[in-house]
Amino acid sequence: MELTDARWRKSSRSNQDNWCVEVATNRGGVVGVRDSKDPDGPVLVVDAYSWRLFVAAPPR
């Protein structure tokens, strides 16, 4: 899937130790997830419903 027009933002759950995750939610129906330290690296793409379930899950 092509994500060249994705608008990336750091996750609010990223920490201050540069262990940062960026997400792109402007793709309508899918969410891109990537490592902020490697913006040209691989991107995990999940459907929006699964992403909402993941974000809403209680911490373990």
Tell me what pLDDT residue 60 has: 81
- The contacts of residue 19 (CB under 8 Å, 6+ apart) are none
Q: Does position 1 have pLDDT exceeding 80, yes or no?
A: no
pTM here is 0.78
Structural domain contains residue 16: yes
In a domain, 22, yes or no: yes
The parent domain of residue 23 ranges over 8-56
Residue 14 forms part of a structural domain: yes
Please indicate, yes or no, if residue 51 is contained in any of the structural domains.
yes
The answer to whether the beta carbons of residues 3 and 32 sit under 8 Å apart is yes
| Pairwise CA distance, residues 10 & 1, whole Å | 21
Q: How many domains does the chain have?
A: 1
- In a 3-state reduction of DSSP, which class is residue 32? strand
- The predicted pLDDT at position 44 comes to 94
pLDDT digits (tens, 9 = 90+) for 20-31: 889 998 878 899
Give domain status of residue 1, yes or no.
no
Go through the chain and tell me how many residues it has: 60
